[in-house]
Amino acid sequence: MGRENQTIGVVGAGAMGAGIAQVAAQAGCAVVLTDSSSAALDRSEAQLKKIVARLIEKGRMTTEEGDNLCGRIQRSTRFSDLANCDLVIEAIVENLEVKQSVFREVEAVVRPDAVLASNTSSLSITGIAAALERPERFIGLHFFNPAPLMPLVEVIPALQTQIDLPVRCVEWMKDWGKDPVIARDTPGFIVNRVARPYYGEALRILEEGIADVPTIDAAMKEQGFRMGPFELMDLIGNDVNYAVTESVFHAFYQDPRYRPSLVQKRHVEAGWLGRKSGRGYYNHDSSSVAPSPSEDQFLRAQVAERILCMLMNEAIDAVFMNIATPKDIERAMTRGVNYPKGLLQWTNDWGPDKAYGLLENLRERYQEDRYRPSPLLRAHAIARQPIAIGD
């Protein structure tokens, strides 16, 4: 089916839902954007008009193209308007019961051959699918914020998903100009699993008093990351980041590698959520002066190595546990969260024995299973062989 003949439904007119609707409309699809709140729909329309106006002003879009883009999106408070959609993507609150309830309502009105998808970042795709009469047509399509700009989409089949649907969705997303990767339905999928140490180990280093917030951020930016972990948590929102961490931690049966931080919990309790609240790990008041990092280069190098070896171990363990192919794991981290280099290639550049040695030293120092090396990392370290990534 040509994309000009496709009708795409999006449930939820928040930042992610509105962004996904824009992506589909830019690909030439007719879009039905639904939300229970007419105010949210109005905000999404106003925001899209501002985006289109900027694109026209910069010469990236003609006025006619902008009008056509806006005209392809119908807004509604009624699920019944999703009846003729080929694909419906849900982008609402991260709550399993709420998502299940919404999909029951959506399934009751869409065509039998319509594909249903969730944009969840951490909930079980299989668990959401279990609420459906026809779970075989359900899949995860996890976009990254902002959806119109970030190329990655994680495609996550449920246990019940029809066998050919993931490949169909990969082609669908490519047709929309996205860079899709297929991930197993495990907590956090690829990105939110592999990225946990970027936040978690940074928080642990802060808790121990080894380095302060600006020094940790400076250490990671020196490695090529666009934002330090605390700058990024302030951008994401501490409430959102903490909720994902808790979700992954509990989904992995309290594995200490994913343990949430009390420092972050206290920030959430205080309402210090980051940029959106005006204060997080930094004070975002316009008159405030950002604190300076330590100039101790040895300290910065230690901080960076500790966080990086944990990230590398997580990426290698995702390969070991067949979460995705090595190539897709590399693409997910570089295309989804803009890592300066794929973590598997970074491990090879270091030499697997270096990452393994750092982890073993940490495990000996703390006597915690948090720092256990992946069996695959250990095997490559002993053999002194690089990890195969593929073309």
Active site residues: 142
Return the DSSP state at 256: G
Q: Which ranges constitute the DSSP H helices of 12-161?
A: 15-26, 38-57, 63-71, 96-107, 125-129
Q: Are 138 and 116 in contact (CB under 8 A)?
A: yes
HSE-up (13 A, CA, CB side) for residue 366? 15
What values do phi and psi take at 109, rounded to 5? Answer: -115, -20
165, 110, 111: which is closest to 137 by C-alpha? 165
Q: Are 355 and 312 in contact (CB under 8 A)?
A: yes
Burial class (CB within 10 angstroms; exposed 0-12, middle 13-18, buried 19+) of 70: middle
Return the DSSP state at 163: T
HSE-up (13 A, CA, CB side) for residue 23? 28
Please tell me the distance from the alpha carbon of residue 306 to that of residue 298, in angstroms, as a whole number.
12
Query: Cα 179–249–264 angle (5° rounding)?
Result: 95
